[in-house]
Amino acid sequence: MTGAITTERILALQAAYIRCIDSDALEAWPDLFTDECLYVVTTAENHRLGYQSGIIYADTKGMLVDRVAALRKANVYEKQSYRHIVGLPHIIKNSGSEAEAETPFLVARIMHDGETSIFATGVYLDTYRAAGVDLKFARRLAVCDSSRVDTLMALPL
């Protein structure tokens, strides 16, 4: 799977990403990003208004690694788990080595007592970069539809 970015490679990266989070394999999550990257969780309203900050903001892979370490300390997986369902990516442009796509998501949250609810819906605005056999996220903006999204969010989206 070297060479040009294909739909199939994009689907595979999307599937690998949510698996890291939902299967409690969070240590593998930063590696899906390029070293210099942008990972932001924000709301549709803030995104429309052009605010950069967001609920979560990281612009290096190192910041993602730190985040995982903090989550492990806080033992967040004992309290809850997520189940991401991602839809089909809409590919906006694809130069072969870099591509942009939008992918809708719905995340259910399952509390320790089994209660399940819709935690968030939204769209990932992504930039993919190919490097040999690897496809990685150079940029992932998780734009949540609801303005009510939990700003003390524990796990990444």
The residue ranges that bind its own copies (CB under 8 A) are: 7-8, 11-12, 14-16, 18-19, 22-23, 44, 81, 83-91, 102, 104-106, 108, 110, 113-118, 120-123, 145-149
Min. distance of Cβ 71 from its own copies in angstroms?
Answer: 18
CB nearer its own copies, residue 70 or residue 88 = 88
d(CA 6, CA 96): 8
Min. distance of Cβ 26 from its own copies in angstroms?
Answer: 15
117, β-bridge pairs: 109
Min. distance of Cβ 66 from its own copies in angstroms?
Answer: 26
CB nearer its own copies, residue 58 or residue 157 = 157
CB nearer its own copies, residue 63 or residue 145 = 145
d(CA 55, CA 41): 5
CB nearer its own copies, residue 102 or residue 129 = 102
d(CA 25, CA 150): 22
Q: Which residues contact 84 (CB under 8 A, 6 or more apart)?
A: 18, 21, 22, 105, 106, 107, 157
Q: Are strands 33-43 and 134-144 parallel, antiparallel or unpaired?
A: parallel
CB 98 within 8 A of CB 5: yes
Cβ atoms within 10 A of the Cβ of 54, count?
19
Min. distance of Cβ 148 from its own copies in angstroms?
Answer: 3
Token pair of 60 as six digits: 């290096």
CB nearer its own copies, residue 12 or residue 131 = 12
Min. distance of Cβ 68 from its own copies in angstroms?
Answer: 19
Hunting for tokens 């390029």 — which residue is that?
34
